Amino acid sequence: MFEKRKRHQKLTRELCANRNRFYKLAYSWTSDPMLADDLVQESMQKAFMSFDSLKEDAKLNAWTCRIMLNCYRDWLRRQKDTVNVDDYEFADDQDPARSFSQDDTSAMVRHCISKLNDKHRNVVTLVDLMELSYDEVAQALEIPIGTVMSRLSRARTQLRSLLERQLREPATVHPINLRRVK
């Protein structure tokens, strides 16, 4: 019992130390700071209560990503009566009246990532923001590792096309995607 509590304390410390990283991941999925915060809080709470089901402590981050993804999918499902999940467009953190400036590369990249479909976005953010291995991404998303590799390749190719388009058309005004909130 003492060992179990010590293990839980260690895992809790590790998770808490990574909260800002999980927040960035959640933000990359939602483009909404408050929703990202909610996602992190909810998924960490679930993780804290389920440490016993974590088989390998070394996989803590991948396991928590899986929980967060499930929380996010649950949230999307709860919006079903207002928005068709399949048609769901991710909110963009850009001001609609503002065009990208040369020094606003980060915002432009975030805008392009928000335009990826969720399968591609999930893989690229888990690899680049959470720095998970392909094997960990495969476990987190419950897909074969070959699918991780092909999705990642397609995601980066698409991301490059989107970035090229943005760079070619710097004055483009990007309409914000509206989301109905209950």
Among 70, 101, 150, 172, binds other proteins (CB under 8 A): 150
CA atoms of 51 and 64, how far apart (whole Å): 10
Q: How crowded is residue 70: how many other Cβ atoms within 10 Å of its Cβ?
A: 13
Q: Which of 125, 138, 141, 174: binder of other proteins (CB under 8 A)? A: 125
Q: Using the rule CB under 8 A, is 76 a contact of other proteins?
A: no
Q: Are the beta carbons of 135 and 182 closer than 8 angstroms?
A: no
* DSSP conformation class of 99: P
DSSP string, 37-90: HHHHHHHHHHHHHTGGG-S-GGGHHHHHHHHHHHHHHHHHHHTTTTS-GGG---
Q: What x-and-dash track marks residues 11-50 binding other proteins by CB under 8 A?
A: -xx--xx-xx--xx--xx----xx--xx--xx-xx--xx-
Judged by CB, which is closer to other proteins: 86, or 181? 181
Taking CB under 8 A as the rule, does residue 51 contact other proteins? no
Taking a C-beta distance cutoff of 8 angstroms, is the pair 48, 67 a contact?
no
Q: Work out which of 67, 68, 69, 113 binds other proteins, going by CB under 8 A.
A: 113
Residue ranges binding other proteins (CB under 8 A): 2, 5, 9, 12-13, 16-17, 19-20, 23-24, 27-28, 33-34, 37-38, 41-42, 44-45, 48-49, 105-107, 109-110, 113, 124-125, 127-129, 133-134, 149-150, 152-153, 156-157, 159-160, 163-164, 182
